[in-house]
């Protein structure tokens, strides 16, 4: 990893919970639920679409590893998996990272729609099926 001031390129070793040749995983510094993790490529790149096949395979393998560890520690009922790719999509750190967000029964009154809620006025497609 390079040290260009990017917070993911300069992570303290103590924060890293797992890794492989191309990626690492940490707990999110601002978690939205217990066990919220990030899977991050070691190479500084901003977009998922700029990763190599080997990097994508490594990221997904580590996502599985992070999921298994999260299940063992927190026993969530489900997960949201997300990438904010580009500023218009909400990306605030310009280094690709995949969010693994554990979900728990009752953490939201109605969790339907999941990641569709990034644009709230379009998330609920089931209430008015006549559209």
Catalytic residues: 97
CA dist list (Å): 128 to 122, 123, 131? 11, 11, 6
């Amino acid at each position: 990893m390079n040290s260009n001031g990017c917070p993911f390129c300069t992570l303290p070793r103590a924060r890293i919970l797992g890794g492989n040749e191309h990626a690492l995983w940490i707990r999110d510094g601002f978690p939205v639920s217990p066990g919220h993790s990030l899977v991050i490529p070691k190479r500084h790149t901003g977009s998922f679409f700029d990763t190599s096949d080997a990097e994508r395979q490594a990221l997904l393998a580590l996502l599985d590893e992070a999921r298994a560890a999260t299940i063992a520690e927190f026993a969530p009922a489900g997960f949201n998996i997300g990438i904010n790719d580009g500023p218009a999509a909400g990306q605030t750190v310009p280094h690709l990272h995949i969010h693994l967000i554990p979900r728990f029964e009752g953490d939201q009154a109605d969790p339907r729609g999941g990641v569709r809620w990034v644009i709230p006025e379009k998330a609920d497609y089931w209430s008015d099926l006549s559209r």
